[in-house]
């Protein structure tokens, strides 16, 4: 992966908002304090895909966090369609067949595929309830190893697993972590978290931050503080 030249690129602001108008307003408030934005289900299903394309045309980076998982042909063709939106990253779940199909769909485009190992809202009891026999750290390591074998571009995982994931995927693939909270911030539904500074020290390439920025009285100032902490 190429080195990140702009320190602002390490922060991905999660636009988990109800509509495009709210997202547009937030992007304007943040201004040049951020360069990278995540669009997930909530906004994506409310016009967010076209909004992502508009951001890309403005020179901003976008991350489509859609966590695709389906039969191989469906994933491959879906990724091929999404590759036309100018996004930088797209997520799929870290199942081998799904990852291989996504890479086929992205071939020839600039879209990078990130694999989600275990959701950061999961702890051991959640994993057991979902039927997984492996402890969360072992499940994350297994999926990271399978992702590397598939040739995936990067991994989405909890910050607390970043060091073990790096061992599995090597130095040349990306690690992107949600569940990042500035010191003193409300954890919300996240259970495996780090501060931005701790995340950078762990060798994480990008942190994804939503509510601490989107819910702030001054989102621009919070974004600037996170970038500064990571630097």
Q: What is the pTM of this model?
A: 0.90
CA gap 20, 50 in Å, rounded? 9
Class of domain 7-230: alpha beta
126 is catalytic: no
List the catalytic residue out of 67, 112, 191, 205. Answer: 67
Give phi and psi for 4, each to the nearest 5.
Answer: -80, 115
For 107-130, give one letter per residue: b (16+ CB within 10 A) or e.
Answer: eebebbbbbbbbbbebeeeebeee
Domain boundaries, the chain: 7-230
70 is catalytic: yes
Q: Quickly count: other Cβ atoms within 10 Å of residue 198's Cβ.
A: 18
Question: Where do runs of H (alpha helix) occur along 1-116?
Answer: 20-30, 41-43, 49-57, 72-82, 96-106
Annotated binding site: 16, 38, 65-74, 120, 181, 190, 210-211
pLDDT digit string, tens, across residues 1-23: 445 568 899 999 999 999 999 99
pLDDT digit string, tens, across residues 85-111: 999 999 999 999 999 999 999 999 999
CA gap 161, 205 in Å, rounded? 13
Distances (CA, A) of 84 to 64, 142, 145: 12, 31, 29
Annotated binding site for substrate: 16, 38, 65-74, 120, 181, 190, 210-211
| For residues 192-211, average pLDDT | 84
List the catalytic residue out of 9, 19, 70, 126. Answer: 70
65 is catalytic: yes
Which residues partner with 206 through β-bridges? 176
């Amino acid at each position: 992966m190429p080195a990140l030249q702009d320190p602002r690129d390490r922060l991905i602001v999660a636009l988990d908002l109800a509509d495009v108008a709210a997202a547009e307003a937030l992007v304007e408030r943040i201004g040049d304090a951020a360069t990278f934005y995540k669009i997930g289900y909530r906004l994506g299903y409310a016009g967010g895909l076209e909004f992502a394309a508009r951001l890309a045309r403005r020179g901003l980076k976008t991350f489509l966090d859609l966590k695709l998982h389906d039969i191989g042909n469906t994933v491959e063709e879906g990724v091929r369609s999404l590759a036309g939106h100018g996004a930088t990253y797209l997520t799929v779940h870290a199942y081998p067949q799904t990852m291989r199909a996504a890479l086929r769909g992205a071939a020839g485009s600039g879209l990078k595929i990130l694999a989600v190992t275990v959701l950061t809202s999961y702890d051991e009891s959640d994993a057991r309830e979902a039927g997984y026999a492996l402890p969360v750290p072992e499940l994350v390591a297994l999926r990271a190893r399978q992702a590397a074998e598939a040739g995936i571009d990067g991994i989405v995982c909890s910050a607390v697993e970043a060091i073990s994931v790096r061992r599995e995927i090597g130095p040349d693939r990306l690690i992107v972590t949600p569940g990042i909270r500035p010191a003193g911030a409300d954890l919300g539904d996240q259970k495996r978290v780090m501060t931005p500074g701790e995340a950078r020290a762990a060798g994480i390439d990008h942190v994804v931050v939503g509510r601490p920025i989107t819910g702030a009285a001054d989102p621009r100032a919070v974004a600037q503080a996170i970038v500064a902490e990571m630097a």
